[in-house]
């Protein structure tokens, strides 16, 4: 288990003692340059989201996290996930001054550099985690990634940052199994698509049913060799933290324990918060902290590091509070608290997921 909350720990490495920070916070100035409001004035994905998060983190002394600047993703890292055509069209659109991909996804002149660094930061994160430089890390970067599939940018997402990082971990860093937990209120359709035929990535998502992009049915558990390795847990509008935590504790984490990942990645969106303007769920800030406690303790129990990448969260002040609470928990603050399983929705979800994994409900 972790040492004292938020303290730097000294661990033996080789013959010397190394000071390990409680976490790494990876960011880049290009995240503040990508601004879809240049093309749609009321767009909710604003640079202020990142500015508010950084203001709050700095007011908390960055929670002891070590700040790092993201590098740009290498072309080969992008090509493990995306087609050459997709990469080229994004680059050309940005270099040509920008353009519209769909009704809510835009590319500006600065967007290519922002996307490259959002993906590159996620790659930096897994490299550092797997080198033992910290047990937890977060990328405070945008644009987000979980809606982007191999050939398609959509839902504010250009490149699929979490998928690019997972593929790098498996291709170059000796990792055999990755858990991707997506707790954004929207279904991570891009990530699900990219890995739906694979049995080396367990993709588990809790999301609001009927919300954009409309995918992620409970009955969709992946395809081919990947059947069972996609866990979709849609919840109704108005679902609260108790239901989300129940699904995490009684469905996702037992399956993940059996899967035994060597790396845990979180697609950390915070738009399931009750004060988010896009989502319709009712999570409180503390619910995100509790989800992070649960994931931290699970990962500690199996010796896997945890990396979180920022996805959604469109009330900048609330987003900032949620990120601080989540990163404090990932660094060791707070305790996991077991709750009673939700009798209806969790039991129904477990009936599906229990076809593939041993659940105790
Ligand atoms: Zn979202």
Q: What HEC string does 45-83 produce?
A: CCHHHHHHHHHHHHHCHHHHCEEEECCCCCHHHHHCCCC
- Ligand 1 geometric centre to CA of 115 (Å): 17
* Catalytic residue (one of 147, 186, 187, 273): 147
Per-residue tens of pLDDT for the chain, all 361 residues: 444 456 677 766 555 677 789 999 999 999 999 999 999 999 999 999 999 999 999 999 999 999 999 999 999 999 999 999 999 999 999 999 999 999 999 999 999 999 999 999 999 999 999 999 999 999 999 999 999 999 999 999 999 999 999 999 999 999 999 999 999 999 999 999 999 999 999 999 999 999 999 999 999 999 999 999 999 999 999 999 999 999 999 999 999 999 999 999 999 999 999 999 999 999 999 999 999 999 999 999 999 999 999 999 999 999 999 999 999 999 999 999 999 999 999 999 999 999 999 998 7
Report d(CA 184, CA 186) in Å as an integer: 5
pLDDT of residue 124: 99
Beta strand 263-268 with 178-182: parallel, antiparallel or unpaired?
parallel
Report d(CA 243, CA 350) in Å as an integer: 13
pLDDT of residue 3: 40
- Ligand 1 geometric centre to CA of 49 (Å): 13
147 is catalytic: yes
Residue whose C-alpha is closest to residue 120's, from 157, 80, 158, 69:
69
Residue reference for tokens 């209806």: 344
- Ligand 1 geometric centre to CA of 261 (Å): 25
Q: Structure pTM?
A: 0.96
pLDDT of residue 20: 87
- Ligand 1 geometric centre to CA of 289 (Å): 18
pLDDT of residue 288: 98
Extended strands (E) in the chain: 9-13, 16-20, 24-27, 66-69, 98-102, 105-108, 136-139, 178-182, 201-208, 230-235, 263-268, 306-310
- Ligand 1 geometric centre to CA of 11 (Å): 37
């Amino acid at each position: 288990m972790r040492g004292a909350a938020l303290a730097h720990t000294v661990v033996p490495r080789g013959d010397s003692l190394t000071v390990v920070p409680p976490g790494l916070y990876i960011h880049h100035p290009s995240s503040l340059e990508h601004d879809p409001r240049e093309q749609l004035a009321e767009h909710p994905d604003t640079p202020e989201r990142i500015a508010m998060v950084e203001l709050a983190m700095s007011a908390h002394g960055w929670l002891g996290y070590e700040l790092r600047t993201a590098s740009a993703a290498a072309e080969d890292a992008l090509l493990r996930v995306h087609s050459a055509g997709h990469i080229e069209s994004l680059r050309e659109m940005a270099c040509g001054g920008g353009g519209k991909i769909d009704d809510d996804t835009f590319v500006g002149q600065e967007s290519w550099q922002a996307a490259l660094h959002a993906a590159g930061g996620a790659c930096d994160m897994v490299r550092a985690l797997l080198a033992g430089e910290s047990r937890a890390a977060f990328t405070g970067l945008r644009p987000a990634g979980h809606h982007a599939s191999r050939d398609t940018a959509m839902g504010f997402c250009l490149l699929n940052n979490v998928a690019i990082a997972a593929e790098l971990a498996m291709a170059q860093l000796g990792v055999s199994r990755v858990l991707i937990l997506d707790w954004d209120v929207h279904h991570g359709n891009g990530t699900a698509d990219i890995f739906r035929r694979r049995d080396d990535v367990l993709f588990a998502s809790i999301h609001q049913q009927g919300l954009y992009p409309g995918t992620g049915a409970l009955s969709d558990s992946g395809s081919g060799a990947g059947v069972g390795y996609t866990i979709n847990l849609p919840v109704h509008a108005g679902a609260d933290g108790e239901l989300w935590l129940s699904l995490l504790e009684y469905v996702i984490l037992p399956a993940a324990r059996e899967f035994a990942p060597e790396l845990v990645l979180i697609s950390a969106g915070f738009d399931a918060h009750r004060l988010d303007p896009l989502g319709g769920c009712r999570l409180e800030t503390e619910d995100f902290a509790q989800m992070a406690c649960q994931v931290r303790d699970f990962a500690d129990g199996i010796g896997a590091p945890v990396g979180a990448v920022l996805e959604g969260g469109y009330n900048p002040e609330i987003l900032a509070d949620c990120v601080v609470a989540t990163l404090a928990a990932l660094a060791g603050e707070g305790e996991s608290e077991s709750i009673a399983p939700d009798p209806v929705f969790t039991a129904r979800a477990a009936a599906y997921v229990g076809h593939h994994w041993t659940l105790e409900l």
